Amino acid sequence: MARFVIRRLLQSAVVLLGVTVVVFLLLQLVPGDPVRVALGTRFDPQTYEALRARAGLDQPLVVQYVNYLGRALTGDLGVSFRSGRPVTTIVLERLPATLSLAVTAVLFAVLIAFPLGIVSAIRSGSLIDHAARVFSQVGVSVPDFWMGIMGILLFAGVLGWLPPSGYVALTEDPAGWASHVALPAATVGLVTASILTRFIRSSMLEVLSEDYVRTAEAKGLRTRVVVLRHVLRNALIPVVTVVAVQLASLLGGVIVIEVLFAWPGIGRLTYDAVQARDYPVLQGAVLLVAALFLLVNLLVDILYARLDPRITVK
Amino acid sequence: MSEHSERTSEGQLRRALSALRHDPLALTGSVVLALLVVVGVAGSWLAPSGINEVDVDRMLQPPSWSHPFGTDELGRDVLSRVMVAARVSLQVGLVSVGIALAVGVTLGLFAGYYRGWLDNVLMRCMDVLFAFPVLLLAVAIVAVLGPGLLTATVAIGVVYTPIFARVTRAGVLSVREQVFVRAAVSIGASDLRIMRRHVLPNIAAPLIVQTSLSLAFAILSEAALSFLGLGVQPPAPAWGRMLYDGRGFVTEAWWLGFFPGAAIFLTVLAFNLVGDALRDVLDPRQLTVSEARRSAT
C-alpha cells in the first residue's frame, strides 16, 4: 500500500509539473504583447512597464518559467492586470462560492441517484428501471445551461418561488443562500445524478450476479438483508470514487452555470478574466482548478486502493 | 493477414449497420442525425426567412404559423436561425473530433506500438491534458487565441485528443501481441505498414464508438463556448449564443431559450443513442455514455 501511495504521489507531482508548463505557456500563446492587449485603451507607459516587469515578461522564456514555478510553489501567482491585486487572494476569495455550489449539487445528485440506481438494479426490467434509464440518457444529453434557463423560467418567472440569479454567502444568511443555491445546484445536480444513477445501476447489477449473492439467497436470507449486507457494500466501492471525481469535475466545470446564475465562484472569475483579458487571473484560476482536480483524483485513488486492496496489486 | 484485417473491418461495419437498423432507439437517433445533416447542409435554402432580417415591427413575437419558433428581440425568425445554426454545430463537432481522432490515434498508435520512453512521454503529456476539466481548458485556449469558429474548433479538438490516444493505446497493446502481428514482423513488414494494415483495422471498433460519443460531447462543448461568447461571433447564429442572448428575455419570451436548447438536446441525444448502440455491438466493455461523460466534464 505504501509503495502504491508513493508511486501515485510521484505520478501526480509529474503531472502537476506538466500542468504548470501548460498554464505558463497559455500566456505565451497570446498573439502580440499580453500586457498591451490586456490594457487596451487604458494603456499608459508607466503601468505597462510596471506590469511587464512584475510578470517577468522582459526575461528569457526558461527564466520566466523557472521564476513562475518558484513563485507558484510559494503561493504567489502574480498580480491581476486589471486590479493590481494578488491573483492568489482573488482566486481564493471565490473558492467558497464554488465549493458550496459543487457540494450542494453533489448532495442533491446523491439523494436522487442512490435510491433510483439501487431500485432500478434490484427491479431490473421494471417500469422504474426503464424510467431510470430514460432519466440517465436524457440527463447526459441535456445542456445544463439550457436546463438552468428553463428552471429560471419555471421557478423564478412562472411560479416566483426562487430568485433567478445572484449569491448570498452561507455564513451571512443561510436561508438566503439556500434560496439562491437551489436552482443552480439542482441544475448541475440533475446532470450529475443521471451519470451516478447509471453507475450505481451497473455496479449493482454486476454484484447481483456474483456467486456469493446467489449463495446468500440460497441460504434463505431475506432480499433486504442480501442487498444491504452483501450487494450494497461491494457495489458502492466504485461509486464512492465516481462521486468524488464528479465533485472534482464540478469545481472547475461549472463555468457556464456560474455565469448563467451570476454565481461569484471560480468559473465566473475565469469568465470575467477572459472578458477583461486578465491573463494572470485566468492562469491562476486554471492552475488552482487543475491542482484541485489532481488532488481529489489522488485521494480517490488512495481511498479506492484502501477499500479494494486488489488495486494496489494491479 | 491483410485479408484478416479487411474481414475484421467489414464484419464490424456490418454489425454496426445491423445494430443501427434493428435497435429502435438507435434507428431514431440515426434518423434525427440524417435530418440534421440535411438541415445543416441546406439550412440556408430551407430556412423560411433570412437569418439577419431585422424587423422591429415583429419583435419578440410568440410562435405562430408564420414564425413557428417565434421571433427574437430584433424581430428575426428564430426557426431560420436555429436551422442555419445546425451547420455550425455539426461543422465544429465533426472537425474538432476529426482533429482529436487524427492526433489522438497517431499518438496512441506510436505509444502503444513502441512502448518504452516514447509511450511514457506521450502518455504523461496526455495525463497533463486530462488534469484539466474539459470546458475550462477549452475556455483558456480560446481566451488566449481569441474567440471565433476556428479557435473554438481547435480548442475542442485539443481537449478531446487524450481520450482517443488512451483508447487507441489500450487497443494497440493487446493487438500487438496477436499472432498475425508477430507474423507480419517476422516476414519483415515495416512498422508503419503493420500499424496501418494490421493494428489499426483491429482497433477500429472502440474508435468508432468513441468517435460517435465524442461528437455529442464536442457539440455540447461548442454550445457552451458559444454561450460564453467564445464561439461563433454575431450576427452568425449558433445555438449556444442564441441561448445566451435569449436568457435576458426568458420570462417574457420563453421561445428564445427553449428552441435553440431543444435543438442542442436532440442532437446530443441522437449521437448518444447511436453511440450507445454501437458500443453494445462493437465494444461492450467500453465506457457507457455516462462514464465517458465523466472523463469529459
Q: Is A34 helix (H, G, I), strand (E, B) or coil?
A: helix
Lowest-pLDDT range, A51-55, A90-94, A263-267, B74-78?
A51-55
B53 in reach of chain A (CB within 8 A): no
Q: B25-74: per-residue pLDDT in tens?
A: 888 889 999 999 999 898 888 888 888 888 888 888 999 998 999 998 88
C-alpha A230/C-alpha A29 separation (Å) is 54
B293 touches A: beta carbon within 8 Å? yes
Q: Which of A141, A143, A255 sits opposite B136 (nearest CB)?
A: A255
Nearest CB among B125, B254, B297 relative to A18 is that of B125
A286 and B140 within 8 Å at the Cβ level: the answer is yes
**All structural domains of chain A with their residue ranges:** 14-76, 94-313
Question: Which DSSP letter does residue A74 get?
Answer: T
Q: Provide the residue ranges of all domains of chain B, joining segments of one domain with +.
A: 3-296
Among B229, B240, B289, the residue with its CB nearest the CB of A140 is B289
Predicted local distance difference test score (pLDDT) of residue B297: 41
Q: What is chain A's mean pLDDT, rounded?
A: 87
Statement: residue B99 has pLDDT above 60 = yes
pLDDT digits (tens, 9 = 90+) for A185-196: 999 999 999 989
The CA distance from A111 to B150, in Å, is 41
> B249 — contact with chain A (CB < 8 Å)?
no
Task: Tell me whether residues B139 and A270 touch, CB distance under 8 A.
Answer: yes
Q: What CA–CA distance (Å, rounded) separates A291 from A281?
A: 15
Name which of A150, A249, A282 is nearest B297 (Cβ-Cβ). Answer: A249
- pTM value is 0.85
Task: Please give, rounded to a whole number of angstroms, the shortest distance from the CA of A29 to a CA of chain B.
Answer: 6
Mean pLDDT of B278-291: 60
Residue numbers in A near B134 (CB within 8 A):
253
Q: Do A294 and B131 touch (CB under 8 A)?
A: yes
- Judge: domain A94-313, CATH 3.40.50.1100: no
- Residue B5 pLDDT > 70, yes or no? no
Task: Report pLDDT for A312.
Answer: 59
Quick check: B173 and B253 in contact, CB under 8 A? no
Q: Which residue of A has its CA nearest to B271?
A: A141
SS3 A220: coil
Segment B214-271, tens digit of pLDDT: 998 999 999 999 999 898 888 888 999 999 888 888 888 899 989 999 999 999 999 9
Whether A136 sits inside 8 A of B290 (CB atoms) is yes
* Cα–Cα nearest to A267, from A251, A282, A255, A253: A255
pLDDT tens figures, A96-118:
999 999 999 999 999 999 999 99
Q: Looking at A272-276, B17-21, B185-189, which range is the least confident one? A: B17-21
How many whole angstroms separate alpha carbon A24 and alpha carbon A216? 57
Query: What is the ipTM metric for this complex?
Result: 0.84
A260 and A148 Cβ atoms separated by less than 8 Å:
yes
Q: Which three cell numbers stand for residue A109?
A: 445528485
Q: Residue A132, Cβ neighbours under 10 Å: how many?
A: 26
Q: What is the pLDDT of residues A113-151, one digit of tens each?
A: 999 999 998 888 889 988 998 898 899 899 999 999 999
Cβ contacts (< 8 Å) between B261 and chain A: which residues? 143, 145-146, 149-150
CATH level 3 topology of B3-296: MetI-like fold (1.10.3720)
Residue of chain B whose Cα is closest to the Cα of A251: B133
The amino acid at B170: A
Report cis status (omega within 30 of 0) of the bond before A309: no
